[in-house]
Structure 1
Amino acid sequence: MTEERTPWWRTGSIYQIYPRSFQDTDGDGIGDLAGITQRLDYLVDLGIDAVWISPIFPSPMADFGYDVADYVGIDPRFGTLDDFDRLLAAAHTRGLRVLLDFVPNHSSDRHPWFVESRSSRTNPKRDWYIWRDAKPDGSPPNNWISDFGGPAWEWDAATGQYYSHAFLPQQPDLNWRNPAVVDAMLDAMRFWLERGVDGFRIDVLWHMVKHAEFIDNPLNPDWHAGMGDMHRVHQTHSTDQPEVHDIAARMRALAEAFSTPDCERVLIGEIYLPFERLMQYYGTAEAPGVHLPFNFTLIDAAWNARALAALIAEYEAALPADGWPNWVLGNHDRPRSATKRGAAQARVAQMLLLTLRGTPTLYYGDELGMEDVAIPLGQVQDPRELREPGLGLGRDPVRTPMPWSDAANAGFSTGTPWLPLGPDWRTRNVAAERDDPASMLTLVRALLAMRRAQPALSGGDLRLLEAEGDVLAYTRGDDVLVALNLGSNAQRLSLPTGAFVPLLTSDGTGLDLEWSGGLALKPDQGIILRRIR
């Protein structure tokens, strides 16, 4: 009998690349696939196991690639299919996995499918998208609201019906109740799996199926204008419908069909839901869902020891028996951790992310301590901000170019970057931080190396210790203890029985370790200890 192998995604770490902002090689100010290939050795040195690349498919870029015009091609701004094949081969040679960002809820309105669908009511692809008659007064079919503000319906004068769009009008929703759509999208996934990709992050998975009767969503009694238009209603009937789990199961079956012991394909679902509903996306033993339904709760969590301990305990308790946890601190849609928590606590947050039980996902630049960048009004690119200006909902501040050095344009491009660099790019860049023992990059590199060196961190059980003051503490396996001071005052922690040796501190300084059983933590300091046996 052969020993069952642990899938790589259980012990590994994932690094999200926003390709427009990672590395430009042709001088147009937009990052490209050749740029990612050029920087693979940096990622190996960092210590990550897989890269997730935000959409690179052909697109009019109304929403910067999340409006797909061809699911089996590469947008010329990023390169060619040959460039992608070279990237994939180079990554695999280095032991890195590559995940693509698949966008199944909607396509671009320029996609040939939608061009056909809107050409007439009798076109064979009419039912590939969601079309509905107006109400008798000519208004939209129901009160659903786009996540980008305004009604989730767009009037098509040529055919006299509305079509559904959960995001921009240029992003019409596909009709996942149509078996032909399901087959076509699975074929697109199969195309990339056959090319050798190691899995997919599935965009807005919980949005994919709408209520069959198109019932009005309940109004949100707590809504106020500062929340954004999308929160006027609760998305009860426009998202998270039970039929979506059958689709997730079919995607999982496809991924499993391409998996081998040496190459397990993984599915990660973007799902913003409470724990009890999020857990349903793991599926069942008979019909497994995605491997990792994204857990975004750290992004907006109250940053104190008791609140975080309660959140971790609640999440761990909610997991199904075979469900593997995962954690995220930020992404291309949400404010950066260093902006939310400050430079010192951003280091503690990275220690938390990389020592919790489960698969961590890092967002590019967070390993440098990058912060949100204020975008001048005339340089705003994000349609989210342009549709509802002044609410702070724009995503440009977290999508700015990666600073590689203090050379022109931070070594990102020989041309003008598509978004401005952060004001500190001359000192906060890869070259400046690489050999600085006190830098965030050095800390993250050390944390990722420790995850590989200490099996307890990559796969061990987690047990929370009782919070003392501002200190969040937990053990991993039998050997490792993590203590995080989430406050700006010195704190003490009572240690469990036994002797411990320090492995790493978040601030690069020494520890005040009292062998009588007490541990003194400096303000904003995280530590990792190992029990001596």
Structure 2
Amino acid sequence: MGWHEHAIFWQVYPLGFLGAEPVLAEDQAVTHRLPRLVDWLDYAVDLGVSGLLLGPVFTSYSHGYDTIDHFAIDPRLGDLDDFDALVAAAHARGLKVVLDGVFNHVGSRHPLVRAALGRPGAPEGGLFHVTWPAQGEPTYATFEGHGGLVALDHDAAAVAELVGEVMRYWLGRGADGWRLDAAYAVPPAFWAQVLPGVREEFPEAYVVGEVIHGEYAAIVAESGMDAVTQYELWKAIWSSLNDRNLWELDHALGRHNAMLDTFAPLTFVGNHDVTRLATRLTDDRHLPHALVVLLTVGGTPSLYYGDEQGLTGLKEERLGGDDAIRQPFPAAPADLPDEGWPVYRLHQELIALRRRHPWLHRARTRTLTLTNEVLAYEVTAPRGPAAGRLLVVLNLADGDAEVAYEATPAPAVLAGHAAAGDGLVRVPAHAWAVLG
């Protein structure tokens, strides 16, 4: 265990948040945008989070995931001094900083790629899967068919050395951990080779991999990462709320319990790659229900910037299809629309509840009541001196929900709306409650 045991992240995609140009110009001048992010740190602290999960900040050609230089800050965002100041300001407020590491591939404009494709037998070619035909131009392996994203050869020792060097360099500059982008596309054995050297120098570094499908626990065990992203739970939350089929969520919580036996997943209801929660849900009365699940079950929660203001945005599978979910923020919190602040205050309430119960990091759930539209679950600490117990009730129905309980005296309502007495907890239509 480490500091991440108590972490709640605010995920920020800097290129979008700060309104950077969509592509890097050949003569791009340094624009000092990162200092504007410093101005939002108090907003994050007031929200209740304890860490920043930053999207790409290294020099890239466009969206940040087509890296050109792993050792430089993207000039659309600023320079090394700006980065150092951001980390220092975050740490001064008690916020950890986790960086986005794109180590499955690099941008096609990366100098190593250009050297590898410059001539047959170039030593840089050993970093990639380059094929030289008898005639014509060389070809190379890509990430999911994107010609601008050149896949690294993770069997090459030089790639492991490069990735380890990059990770250690930024940890040495003050970063506290890494999100490993597209970790699902990299053999776990590669991370098992790289991470021990990183942890030898930085034992407190938190490492979480982006994994969408697969056996999460096995990937964590084989790779040596601390955690992976919990896409199963993300999908079950919004899908079960939309379909009013809480059996799906119950099934996902059972699988989530099994994961918690070996690791604490990174949990979320929104991120930079998916349609925003407020757009995804078909009934906005159920947005609080999604947050309640996120902040009362085990794992390390991550909140995507703007979701705490109820921002909308639809992801589309087209060029520029991510723009709507990676929108810029204004200069200061005071410039945010008034209608978003009630959602912010709801986030504050639920985050505060979680921080008062830190044992929730590895807590397990036990279903007490389950119908299509009503789910009540008990949350308990697995073991140890930090034992605790909460009761969570989600009601999607058009009428009141009644849930039996076996507690004397009646549990207190910690958040939400409920009445408890006579062995029953009553929650109004389309409402929720957390009791303890």
TM-score range, shorter chain: 0.7 to 0.9
Residue 99 of structure 1, CA deviation: 0.6
Which of the numbers 321, 345, 349 marks the counterpart of 2:290? 349
Residue 401 of structure 1, CA deviation: 2.1
Which one-letter code corresponds to 2:141 in the other structure?
S
Residue in structure 2 matched with residue 236 of structure 1 by the alignment = none
Which of the numbers 227, 233, 247 marks the counterpart of 1:298? 233
Question: Does 1:96 pair with 2:23?
Answer: no
Which of the numbers 248, 259, 273 marks the counterpart of 2:191? 248
Which of the numbers 394, 412, 420 marks the counterpart of 1:484? 394
Residue in structure 2 matched with residue 223 of structure 1 by the alignment = none
Which structure 1 residue ranges, 5 or more long, are not aligned?
1-5, 139-156, 209-243, 375-381, 388-393, 412-424, 434-438
CA distance in structure 1 between the aligned counterparts of 2:116 and 2:398, rounded to whole angstroms: 58
Residue in structure 2 matched with residue 307 of structure 1 by the alignment = 248
Which structure 2 residue ranges, 5 or more long, are not aligned?
22-28, 381-387
Larger relative helix fraction? 2
Which of the numbers 344, 355, 364 marks the counterpart of 2:305? 364
Question: Does 1:15 pair with 2:10?
Answer: yes
Residue in structure 2 matched with residue 452 of structure 1 by the alignment = 355
Residue 293 of structure 1, CA deviation: 1.0
Report percent identity of matched pairs. Answer: 30
Q: What are the residue-to-residue correspondences of 1:428-443 with 2, within 5 Å?
A: 428-429=339-340, 433=341, 439-443=342-346
Which of the numbers 312, 323, 329 marks the counterpart of 1:396? 323
CA distance in structure 2 between the aligned counterparts of 1:520 and 1:207, rounded to whole angstroms: 47
Q: 1:455 to 1:293 in 2, by over 3 A?
A: closer
Residue in structure 2 matched with residue 273 of structure 1 by the alignment = 213
> Once the two structures are superposed, what CA deviation does each residue of 1:305-357 show, in whole Å capped at 9, x if it has no partner?
2110111102322x274322332212111111111113221111011101111
Q: Secondary structure at the match of 2:148?
A: coil
Q: Secondary structure at the match of 2:414?
A: strand
CA distance in structure 1 between the aligned counterparts of 2:267 and 2:88, rounded to whole angstroms: 28
Residue in structure 2 matched with residue 500 of structure 1 by the alignment = 411
Residue in structure 1 matched with residue 51 of structure 2 by the alignment = 50
Which one-letter code corresponds to 2:89 in the other structure?
A
CA distance in structure 2 between the aligned counterparts of 1:80 and 1:404, rounded to whole angstroms: 20
Residue 386 of structure 1, CA deviation: 2.6
CA distance in structure 1 between the aligned counterparts of 2:246 and 2:115, rounded to whole angstroms: 55
Q: 1:106 to 1:323 in 2, by over 3 A?
A: same
Q: Does the aligned pair in 2 maintain the 1:462–1:474 contact within 8 Å?
A: yes
Count residues with an aligned counterpart: 412
Q: What are the residue-to-residue correspondences of 1:25-64 with 2, within 5 Å?
A: 32-61=33-62, 64=63
Residue 75 of structure 1, CA deviation: 0.7
Q: Secondary structure at the match of 1:385?
A: coil
Residue in structure 2 matched with residue 164 of structure 1 by the alignment = 141
CA distance in structure 2 between the aligned counterparts of 1:330 and 1:473, rounded to whole angstroms: 23
Residue 523 of structure 1, CA deviation: 2.3
> Once the two structures are superposed, what CA deviation does each residue of 1:118-159 show, in whole Å capped at 9, x if it has no partner?
00111111121112367xxx9xxxxxxxxxxxxxxxxxx75x
Aligned CA-pair RMSD: 2.6
Question: Does 1:335 pair with 2:275?
Answer: yes
Residue in structure 2 matched with residue 128 of structure 1 by the alignment = 127
Residue in structure 2 matched with residue 385 of structure 1 by the alignment = 318
Q: What are the residue-to-residue correspondences of 1:93-242 with 2, within 5 Å?
A: 93-132=92-131, 160-167=137-144, 168-208=146-186
Residue 469 of structure 1, CA deviation: 4.9
CA distance in structure 2 between the aligned counterparts of 1:455 and 1:189, rounded to whole angstroms: 29
CA distance in structure 2 between the aligned counterparts of 1:300 and 1:266, rounded to whole angstroms: 24
Which one-letter code corresponds to 1:165 in the other structure?
T
Larger relative strand fraction? 2
Which of the numbers 525, 528, 532 marks the counterpart of 2:431? 525
Q: Secondary structure at the match of 2:377?
A: strand
Q: Does the aligned pair in 1 maintain the 2:164–2:195 contact within 8 Å?
A: no
CA distance in structure 2 between the aligned counterparts of 1:326 and 1:75, rounded to whole angstroms: 27
